[in-house]
Amino acid sequence: MGAKLGCGYVDGATVAELELQHPTWGLAVRRPWWWLEPRIAELGLSAMARGRHALDHGELLTKTQAIKQANAPTWLVGYLSARRRGEAVSLPRLRTAWIAWHDARRTVAHAKRTR
């Protein structure tokens, strides 16, 4: 099953590899201080959700859909959704970093095991 991306198709395994097994994420999970940057934490939560979905279903989620499926508490999903809509919302830096980093560690490790 492929995910429609513009004029081409990419299969789910390739999408998951792009999202989860990119060298950047492997490097980032070994550097927890990177996650203190809110943009990294936000990007990480949506990328991990997209990657998990691709592994499980063979298709790519939009970023908006991925935020709804982020492995994060309801309050954080609300913050991420508001930011995605363009609202000026500040994420709680330390809590967000901790949640995003742990999610990435678990998700990247799982992706490596399922290769």
Report the interhelical angle of 38-57 vs 74-84 (nearest 10°).
100
pLDDT tens, position by position, 10-52: 555 565 666 666 678 888 999 999 999 999 999 999 999 998 8
Q: How far is CA 38 from the centre of its chain?
A: 13
Question: Of 35, 107, 37, 49, which is closest to residue 81 (Cα–Cα)?
Answer: 49
Whole-prediction pTM value? 0.80
Q: What is the 3-state secondary structure (H, E, C) of 39-70?
A: HHHHHHHHHHHHHHHHHHHCCCCCHHHHHHCC
